[in-house]
Structure 1
């Protein structure tokens, strides 16, 4: 059996907080290792003449903290394996061994595998002093975060938040930028240095934008963000949006919202989608932001209706989407490769087919045309149907074949109209012309919906030009002849451009 490895805490900083038991444990160790000698309690070891080694040099030789913790763990396990049976090696860390000590977590995983007995003894953590010195009760809601791995998605303004391991100004700057994603620039935060250490403690209250201008950052520094119930801080969270929609649909909410069903707001989903598309065409980011919000509301409302009957909620929707995105991107989240967009699309289609197989919905009776939504706009639907058919070889060899077919269909439309065929027959012939025109768009590599939308916009611009020119004369289109309007139309083409 190897030596015993014991991890002890040096406390939050004040040497008076170092317990007698832990001091005696360090004095009696066959070998004592410190994560860092840069700690106020180390002077007690010097006073008692206790020999030790520190891992400060490891910080200087490694490029990242994970590498530092890995090296410390490896050296401690190696030392325990070489030591005499029954002897005790002590590893001392600042604060409490179970608070913000990555190497201790690695030791917990690896010592049992190496047949090394691991003991952990507490010590006052910096949290104890923070609760006292900063004056808040963690029972109100509290989170502890690491400055080195901080992510804005973890921040919850309704909780007291402590951010530890803010070692220097550069780290403080990163923390500031992260916090600014959820908090106003002038939100008041606290910086604590060496809390509880007599003669060294300092607490600074500063607006967030000055966080990295505070001096004195070091091994015993932290940042504290007081909790807040300010609704302005909640408004950027998805949870708050979910809560608002829930309230609107509740008995105490909005009468109109309560009465809605999937069918009653079905058209709203379509309308909001097209309004988003309009902002894309207009290249208007501010308007797009607003319309995307309106579209998101429709999704939330539909999900809320299902949550009320226990079918699913919006978080189930999000989970399903996350799972789908990961599954259908094996070239990003797996071992597949995709060197260009075409290969990525092939991966997507393959995984989509595999998804159906797993769900048991693929069968020999399935159609190549399956998967095109029934209620898509007709132009868009014909484009998708033709793409699917073309994948299995039902296609012309080149666009000249499409042009020939287009001439044929136009001739048949002319015949149906000139010979007075039934309105239904004329409608079908017109549909054939449009369908073949969509095929031409597919061969050209353009989206027919976009092409027609561009022409619609061009028509609006030119017709509004006609209206403006007539308005200058105190006239309206209905008061003008076709020839007059055609003159201004040609003028619009020159003024606004042909395209």
Structure 2
């Protein structure tokens, strides 16, 4: 009693090993998984007696149940005392699900099992295409393409592309990875007289005139990116700066002492964006990232969290809050995305923010705070339905400022401050209705003023003049000159 599994090789009889031929031509019950193999003709010519499981292919509902049925029958025959030789196309250990199933059942049933080495179609493919598998190669059944990792960097061989339908499904799956016009190599009947090797665009895969059980597809690796993205360099540098013998200043910092720097870096990023300066933006984003890494390092040293925790947490949150991208929910527009986002946030943190205006950080700049207060109030209906009343409100508040400014000096101070605050709050509301972030808008104007004022200063120096020697009209001309210079850039 026992099972010996052998491989018929990739195609031609000449690729069958001598050990396998001696086994097939000897005693024992020989069963082929399928007789649809090029070397079977030679077996018949040489009088080798065999049966096959081809009759099961037409009856099976799917391949999973078919392979399981084949494995069950092979094990059953062996347990009845027969010595079974089970032969499969190619190599027993390359893309042979029945061999995997038989091996598992044989171990469980304590049935003796021997697997004979054999040549697979892969060895022929390596030679024909000049591919060295040691450089990295992924081999996958066409039915398993859904398991392909999204960051695949190796070459890819897709086996069992046995029909036009499978070729179509393979094409669609691979186009998501490589694009419609990625060049692939289709191989068929490797090692046989009618061997076919053809390079085509991926979108042409299911248009080939002949596709059968001896068809496979080779997809060359995508060009490697020049750099692999990693946070490790900056994380390692920060760890060194904070370690004994590192930088005294860095070692002394805490979350509280670092607060001002992260705010400063955010505004420098905004300035770079407004200037449309890509080089500066890259540098300022790096400075901002440094602050994040700095805080993560401080937290890690106290056992709080690590930089990896920061990355993992925000990644998981983004996936959770975008079910229309990573799940099965559909949305009509960006507004519906925002609604879903808020609902998901509430489910994530039930009861954490019971009041409407909860969740606005205390340390935000005043314009940004006003914007967020109004936006939160608007979500519960405390808002105008159109922009008209917003303009009226600004006019009303400006009139109250004029009234406060005209009051006696003793009454003017606090009242003027209050009324000016109301004007600013109303202007923030106007910005919100117009879809403009007031903090960003004012910051942009501040930077614009700085640039134009700097131009005036430079021109005065070039002319050998001082501020005191200029009247307002002359300075205004230089201001207009700065404006014209910016408009021409």
Distance in 2 (CA, whole Å) between partners of 1:276 and 1:35 is 69
Is 1:318 matched with 2:304? no
Q: How does 1:285-300 map to 2 (within 5 A)?
A: 285-300=278-293
Q: How does 1:207-218 map to 2 (within 5 A)?
A: none
Task: Tell me if structure 1 keeps the 8 A contact 2:24–2:85.
Answer: no
Q: Name the CA shift for 1:401/1:123 in 2 (closer, same or farther; >3 Å).
A: same
Mark the structure with the bigger radius of gyration. Answer: 2
Shift of 1:389: 0.8
Distance in 2 (CA, whole Å) between partners of 1:125 and 1:333 is 42
2:402 to 392, 414, 417: 414
Is 1:327 matched with 2:323? no
Alignment-derived partner of residue 473 in structure 2: 483
Is 1:90 matched with 2:86? yes
- RMSD across aligned C-alpha pairs, in angstroms? 5.2
Is 1:304 matched with 2:297? yes
Give CA-to-partner distance per residue, 1:59-118, whole Å, 9 cap, x none: xxxxxxxxxxx9865653454567794165736476672xxx565399659998xx9999
SS at match of 1:369: coil
Alignment-derived partner of residue 455 in structure 1: 445
Distance in 1 (CA, whole Å) between partners of 2:336 and 2:246 is 49
Alignment-derived partner of residue 374 in structure 1: 362
Distance in 2 (CA, whole Å) between partners of 1:152 and 1:404 is 55
Task: Tell me if structure 2 keeps the 8 A contact 1:73–1:107.
Answer: no
Structure 1: stretches of 5+ with no match in the other structure: 55-69, 130-141, 156-161, 168-173, 179-217, 225-232
The 10-residue stretch of structure 1 (102-111 or 258-267) with the greater mean CA deviation from structure 2: 102-111
SS at match of 1:31: strand
Distance in 1 (CA, whole Å) between partners of 2:292 and 2:315 is 16
Distance in 1 (CA, whole Å) between partners of 2:413 and 2:488 is 35
SS at match of 1:30: strand
SS at match of 1:294: helix
SS at match of 1:345: helix
Distance in 2 (CA, whole Å) between partners of 1:276 and 1:265 is 17
Task: Tell me if structure 2 keeps the 8 A contact 1:33–1:52.
Answer: no
Alignment-derived partner of residue 417 in structure 2: 427
Task: Tell me if structure 1 keeps the 8 A contact 2:242–2:251.
Answer: yes
Is 1:349 matched with 2:342? yes
Q: Name the CA shift for 1:392/1:73 in 2 (closer, same or farther; >3 Å).
A: closer
Shift of 1:355: 1.0
The 10-residue stretch of structure 1 (478-487 or 261-270) with the greater mean CA deviation from structure 2: 478-487
Q: Name the CA shift for 1:489/1:288 in 2 (closer, same or farther; >3 Å).
A: closer
Alignment-derived partner of residue 251 in structure 1: 244
Distance in 2 (CA, whole Å) between partners of 1:111 and 1:324 is 41
Distance in 1 (CA, whole Å) between partners of 2:450 and 2:44 is 85
Alignment-derived partner of residue 32 in structure 2: 32
Is 1:146 matched with 2:138? yes
2:67 to 76, 96, 107: 76
Give CA-to-partner distance per residue, 1:392-428, whole Å, 9 cap, x none: 2222343332222222222222333343245444332
Alignment-derived partner of residue 242 in structure 1: 235
Distance in 2 (CA, whole Å) between partners of 1:36 and 1:475 is 97
Distance in 1 (CA, whole Å) between partners of 2:431 and 2:6 is 73
Distance in 2 (CA, whole Å) between partners of 1:273 and 1:49 is 82
TM-score (norm 1): 0.62
Distance in 2 (CA, whole Å) between partners of 1:26 and 1:338 is 65
Shift of 1:325: 1.3
Alignment-derived partner of residue 352 in structure 2: 361
Task: Tell me if structure 1 keeps the 8 A contact 2:323–2:329.
Answer: yes
Alignment-derived partner of residue 446 in structure 1: 436
Is 1:400 matched with 2:388? yes
Shift of 1:442: 1.6
Alignment-derived partner of residue 204 in structure 1: none
Shift of 1:377: 1.3
The 10-residue stretch of structure 1 (435-444 or 314-323) with the greater mean CA deviation from structure 2: 314-323
Distance in 2 (CA, whole Å) between partners of 1:292 and 1:352 is 27
Q: Name the CA shift for 1:247/1:461 in 2 (closer, same or farther; >3 Å).
A: closer
TM-score (norm 2): 0.63
Distance in 1 (CA, whole Å) between partners of 2:272 and 2:102 is 54
Task: Tell me if structure 2 keeps the 8 A contact 1:379–1:438.
Answer: yes
Q: Name the CA shift for 1:453/1:84 in 2 (closer, same or farther; >3 Å).
A: closer
Q: Name the CA shift for 1:495/1:258 in 2 (closer, same or farther; >3 Å).
A: closer
Give CA-to-partner distance per residue, 1:429-468, whole Å, 9 cap, x none: 2211111111111222222223323433443444344334
Distance in 2 (CA, whole Å) between partners of 1:476 and 1:235 is 54
Give CA-to-partner distance per residue, 1:460-494, whole Å, 9 cap, x none: 44434433443442224443121211233345455
Structure 2: stretches of 5+ with no match in the other structure: 53-60, 79-83, 124-133, 160-173, 179-214
Task: Tell me if structure 1 keeps the 8 A contact 2:68–2:98.
Answer: no
